[in-house]
Amino acid sequence: MSLDNHLAVLEQRHTVLDQEISAALASKPAMSDIELKEMKLKKLHLKEEIERLRTSRN
């Protein structure tokens, strides 16, 4: 998989997680704080990986 394709996949996963977090916050009852924290942490790790790959590409 090329770097550009890998970045696109990571960005898509980041977007999906962002949408899932937004939906979870809007739902009643909301998901547990632990589940929400885990989703946010995964999203952060994806963002960090995306930035690391973009930096190493240049």
pLDDT in tens, the chain (58 residues): 799 999 999 999 999 999 999 998 888 777 888 999 999 999 999 999 999 999 998 7
Nearest to 37 by CA among 15, 7, 12, 17: 17
∠ at Cα 34 (45, 49), nearest 5°? Answer: 5
| pTM confidence score | 0.85
Q: Tell me which residue range forms the domain holding 37.
A: 3-57
Structurally, the chain folds into a number of domains equal to 1
Q: How far apart are CA 35 and CA 21, in angstroms?
A: 10
Per-residue model confidence (pLDDT) at position 58: 74
